[in-house]
A = this chain, B = another copy of it.
């Protein structure tokens, strides 16, 4: 119990004392807890991006891990601080939709998730600032969880937490959908919200993936089979369709970024490949 892991996702960047202050409070509260940085480079205030990153990260960790996500443009306002239990993991952060994909993931699995409002001041710092709940609320809550405090001790369950629709392409015609870019990764790959499991047909049928500037017809199996600089689609390691370029940035080539629209049309003519 005392050895629990705590992961951190924030938009705090890495130039300030913010993340260090959170780590200090965790160390003071739960000396044996180990803290693991996921990323502190979520684009400032970008709740959607943080929602995607935590959705990709938590399933890799062991049960019992405490995931702290602080992307919090509403800090100091009436937005509520939350503790979520889902699939044996704990999630701590603001009620601004940042856990929306976790709610979907754990619903799809047929499991339940429990959401509580953090309201017990004994689990927070003695003085809570209006601008830094990462240090004053979320870090000490994570520390107390790591030491074994029960979820019910942090606050009451609620059902009216905020959910955002992030991975739901809109159907435009019988075989055409409009989706969007969820995230541009470090290599310039554009991660769309078309999931492999929903759009299996792209693996066996011809298709056209349309961005505002290019049309893509190739689905590659790996990067190495493509030509340098070539643009192609690929099923990414997250199970989403991605637009990539061999040893180059697809985002630069396309001039697209997170939030950009993408259309997918699957041709139902006799398959050209199998």
B56 touches A17 (CB 8 A): yes
B20 touches A39 (CB 8 A): yes
Q: A5 contacts which chain B residues (CB < 8 A)?
A: 27
Query: A187 to B45, alpha carbons, bound, how many Å?
Result: 10
State whether the Cβ of A16 lies closer than 8 Å to any Cβ in chain B: yes
Residue of B nearest to A242 (CB): B131
Q: Which of A5, A44, A60 counts the most B-chain CB atoms under 10 A from its CB? A: A60
CB–CB B17/A57 < 8 A? yes
Q: Does A273 contact B (CB under 8 A)?
A: no
Q: A7-B20, A15-B186, A27-B65 are in contact. Are A129 and B224 (CB under 8 A)?
A: no
* Residues of chain A in range 208-224 having any CB-CB distance to chain B below 8 Å: 221-224
Task: Please state if B15 and A39 are interface contacts (CB–CB under 8 Å).
Answer: yes
How far apart sit A20 and B61, CA to CA, in the bound complex (Å)?
9
Q: Is A138 an interface residue (CB 8 A)?
A: no
What is the CB-to-nearest-CB distance from A162 to chain B, in angstroms, rounded to a whole number?
Answer: 15
Complex CA distance for A159 and B27, rounded to whole angstroms: 32
The answer to whether A75 and B44 have CB atoms under 8 Å apart is no
Contact of A12 among B14, B25, B131, B186 (CB under 8 A): B186
Q: Which of the segments A29-37, A111-119, A145-153 contacts the partner chain? A: A29-37
Whether A13 sits at the interface, judged by CB under 8 Å, is yes
A269 contacts across to B, CB distance below 8 A: none
User: Chain B residues with Cβ under 8 A from A132's Cβ?
Assistant: 236-237
CB distance from A137 to the nearest CB of B (A): 12
**With A and B bound together, what is the CA distance between A79 and B224 in angstroms?**
10
B16–A130 CB distance below 8 A: no
Given contacts A28-B62, A31-B3, A73-B247, contact A130 B221 (CB under 8 A): yes
Complex interface residues of chain A between 1 and 52 (CB less than 8 A to chain B): 3, 5, 7, 9, 11-25, 27-28, 31, 34-42, 44-45, 52
A20 touches B41 (CB 8 A): no
User: Given A27-B36, A224-B75, A237-B135, A41–B15 Cβ distance below 8 Å?
Assistant: yes
Query: 27 interchain pairs (CB within 8 A)?
Result: A7-B24, A9-B20, A11-B186, A12-B186, A16-B39, A16-B53, A16-B186, A17-B38, A17-B53, A20-B36, A20-B38, A20-B53, A20-B57, A21-B57, A21-B60, A23-B36, A24-B62, A27-B36, A28-B60, A28-B61, A75-B222, A76-B224, A77-B223, A131-B223, A131-B237, A132-B236, A135-B237
Q: A residues near B, CB below 8 A?
A: 3, 5, 7, 9, 11-25, 27-28, 31, 34-42, 44-45, 52-53, 56-62, 65, 73-77, 79, 129-132, 135-136, 183, 185-187, 221-225, 234, 236-238, 247
